[in-house]
Structure 1
Amino acid sequence: MNNVLRSAAPSWLSVLGLTLAVQAQAMEMPDTFQVHGFMSQALILTDHNDFFGPSSRDTGSLEYTELGLNASFRPRSNVLVAAQVLARQAGDMQQLNEPELDYGVLDYQFFTDSDANAGIQLGRFKNPLGLYNQTRDVAATRPSILLPQSIYFDRTRQPALSADGVMLYSEAFLNNGSVRFQFGMGSPRLDDQSEVSALGADSYGEFSGRTSYIGQVRYEHGGGEFVLALTYADVNAEFDSRGVRPGLGDFSFQPWLLSFQYNLENWSFTTEYAIRNIQTKGFVSPYNYDVTGESWYVQLSRRLGSDWQWLLRYDSLVTDIDDRSGKEFARTSGQPAFTRYAKDWTTGIQWQPYGRFMVSTELHHIEGTGWLPYQDRAELMSQKKYWNLLLFQVSYFF
């Protein structure tokens, strides 16, 4: 079945792209009309702990596929209409036959001059979270196949990725740099994996998003020589329980994220640090909690000529800073202590022989499973503390 979906999806994207192009010509769309897309396929192998499919089997997993098609045009010089459809296979969390609107905005820039601009976006906007979230779908914009999982969780990807609402932005141009401010308000997008991450299973009921906020201030110096950003979010949801347990309750998530990047001709150094408070309240015991977690990574990349890039990264996640080893959690819950943290050493290589094609590989050596997706308690209890993750990916852009 998965092979059928994988073969059908590129055809679906090609048909959609051709349809958009034909309609654009028929409607005499302006010269600003553009259509772009991307395709990525990965092979994943682990010695323990499945990640995005049965990766611990001898043949590994091919259940990590990304297919996207985007279009944009400017009906007026200060108005942009842009949208992207995404089909993604990520193990059991997402299926290729369930394409989604990744983003879709009407962007109106109501002020602009030589020193500054300001505008508003309406619709489904990408959250300005850290350095990579707004472009994380496209393999060419990522420094590695997997982004640092302590910050850019794949198991809670959907609520972090985008929101439905309104976002204001403004940018000021300085003598040798720029300052950009973004503030968004809307409803977060929640899925079954959000329920698993918050409550331990996806069979208890359903989350629905409540009004949430995100803001970022970002400074770039010397055309990107170094970048400094501060992000804050207040994500809120309520839970509609199907039974007495866990009951009707509320969920909130407030991260502070500090980002820094320094770029030289052939070297880049990147680090991000986050403090994350997560609360649930109104549920029956033991589903109420209030914990503060910590996430950070340091990353060094080296450009080896025009075609090759090498990366080395250390990534750290702690779910509860008052119980860094997870021992107290293990004592009260009966679950393994190592499910509350993760320490990940990563090295990888990217090869881009020409602009539209890229081949990547990376190796992770990991202690803990704090960011590893799971579906139920039985899978959680079977996880191993130490494990290795090897990925290969081919990507095409058009």
Structure 2
Amino acid sequence: MKTYSFVCLLLFSGPLWATGQDWQFNGYLNQAYADVDDSQFIVGDDSSSFDLTEVMATASWQPWSAVRFAGALTYRQWGTLAESDVRIDYLFAESRWQLSKGHLGVRGGRMKNEVGFYSSTRDMSFTRPGIMLPQSIYSDYFRDAQLHVDGGDFFGRVNLGGGILDWHVMAGRSASSEDLTRNIFGEGDFGELDSNSFFSVDLEYQADEWRVGATYYKAGVEYHPGGVFFAGELDLHAWVLSAEYSWRWFELTGELLLGDRHTQGVYIPPAAGEIKDHNRGYYLEGRALLPENVELFLRYDDYVDNTDDDAGNRYAAQSGNPAYFAYSKDWTLGGRWLLNKDWLLAAEYHWIEGAAWVSPLLTRDPNQQAKDWSMLMLQLSYRIQW
């Protein structure tokens, strides 16, 4: 924290004496509402909730052309998946060098990771596809293990073949909170999960109508036991492949996740050795860009927790829970209206079969979760740009 405090001092005191365009300040406020039928996802014991608030203030100071300091504070409450809290969202020092056809750079501190198209901007409603991101790729219950990285980032950009290639190589450890433990184990004294490592490589290429990307990441989590569980480790390995095609007023986007989950201990005795599961998720989304700054989209989102048990029959036999906890299939119809450059109104409706992304993962209650359920979400967003 001493390093963070030093960078904070530089970042927020810099604007007091910087001149010209050396500093910038931005912020946003998102307020959402969810109404859920036949599930406690997000809303808990109530069928609806306004406890879906995201507020962020960001600052950036560039004292020299090759050096930049940036940071953000965020307040976030996302229903039952994230308790209200103020946190450092990112805080880093960056240096970059211009090349003849691009640039190279390094960052150090706390950063957003670059998994897929939307991970680094997933909290900003103006830049994400809908109120709720596709859970097959951007899981909210595993958010803490995948989103923030305390460490370093080697990145670059180069003009290549008529397009632009961006890349990031990140290493460090994830910045987790109590939300991760609660989303896995539920309420009660079941121990604690701590992130211990994170590594990722991300490539993205954009040219004309096409944007394609590929990400590999590895996230490690340690478990300190409580209750009936065992000390252990959880390693997540995943490839995310992304593609987007834009033509006039239409966009088609798809992303595919191929993951491995290595578990030792936790819910199985350590003597049983390491258990390996393979999970798979993907979504396809068509978006229409209409006049008057209106967008409509239709999305299909599909996730299977274990590709060797697509229908969940093995899961049901081993856990005693219904098979539909092992997969999720989500159809979403939504729209957004940019009232002006600063205000955005969004709405979407989900028809869902299965509950693989409904927490808590290890202490589920079938009496509170139906196989087929639905969710209506509304959101109003405001952004500040100076």
TM-score (norm: length of structure 2): 0.90
CA contact (8 A) 1:48 1:56 kept: no
* Residue 217 of structure 2: aligned partner: 233
- Residues 30 and 158 from structure 1, CA distance in 2 versus in 1: closer, same or farther, beyond 3 angstroms? farther
Give the Cα separation in 2 of the matches to 1:381 and 1:29: 61
Contact 1:30 1:74 in 2 (8 A): no
> Do the aligned residues in 1 keep the contact of 2:116 with 2:214 (CA within 8 Å)?
yes
The answer for the alignment partner of 1:4 in structure 2 is none
What residue ranges of structure 1 are gaps of 5+ in the alignment?
Answer: 1-19
Q: For residues 155-180 of structure 1, give each alpha carbon's deviation from its aligned partner in whole angstroms, at most 9, with x where no partner exists.
A: 11122111100010121112410111
Of stretches 175-184 and 129-138 in structure 1, the one that deviates more from structure 2 is: 175-184
The letter of the residue matching 1:267 is F
Which residue is equivalent to 2:195?
A: 209
The Cα shift of 1:377 comes to: 2.5
Distance 1:157 1:285, change over 3 A: closer
Q: Does 1:73 align with 2:73?
A: no
- Change in 2 beyond 3 A, CA 1:306/1:205: same
Question: 1:315, 1:345 within 8 Å by CA — same for their partners in 2?
Answer: yes
Shift of 1:380: 5.0
Structure 2 residue 257 is matched with structure 1 residue 257: no
**2:94 maps to amino acid:** D
Task: State the alpha-carbon separation in 1 of the partners of residues 181 and 262 from structure 2.
Answer: 14
Name the residue aligned to 1:82. 70
Alignment coverage as a number of residue pairs: 372
Q: Which residue of 2 aligns with 1:99?
A: 86
- Matched residue, 2:257: 274
Partner of 1:150: 136
In the aligned structure 1, how far is the partner of 2:134 from the partner of 2:140?
A: 10
Residue 158 (structure 2) pairs with residue 172 (structure 1): yes
2:184 and 2:362 in contact (8 A); partners too: no
**Pairwise CA RMSD:** 2.3
**Deviations 1:159-213 (CA, angstroms, capped at 9, x unpaired):** 2111100010121112410111210000112233433555566632222222321
- Percent of aligned pairs with the same residue? 28
Q: CA deviation at 1:234?
A: 1.1
Per the normalisation by structure 1, the TM-score is 0.88
Aligned AA (1:64): L
1:127 matched residue in structure 2: 113
* Structure 1 counterpart of 2:31: 41
For residues 349 and 289 of structure 2, the distance between their equivalents in structure 1, rounded to whole angstroms, comes to: 18
Aligned residue for 2:200, secondary structure, equals: strand
Matched, 1:313 2:299: yes
What is the letter of the counterpart of residue 281 of structure 2? S
Contact 1:234 1:252 in 2 (8 A): yes
1:354 partner SS: coil
In structure 2, which of residues 227, 231, 241 is the aligned counterpart of residue 248 of structure 1?
231
Determine the C-alpha separation between the residues in 1 that align with 2:45 and 2:294. 27
Contact 1:195 / 1:202 at 8 angstroms: preserved in 2? no
* Amino acid aligned to 1:81: F
Cα distance in structure 2, aligned partners of 1:94 and 1:161:
13
The answer to whether the 8 A contact 1:374-1:380 is kept is no
**Distance (Å, rounded) in 2 between the aligned partners of 1:356 and 1:54:** 32
Equivalents in 1 of 2:81, 2:352: separation in Å?
A: 22
Asked if the contact 2:310–2:327 (Cα under 8 Å) also holds between the matched residues in 1, the reply is: yes
Bigger relative contact order (CA 8 A; separation at least 6): 2
CA contact 2:15–2:23 (8 Å) conserved in 1: no
Quote how far apart the aligned CAs of 1:144 are: 0.6
- Indicate the larger mover: 341-350 or 379-388: 379-388
Residue 285 of structure 1 corresponds to 268
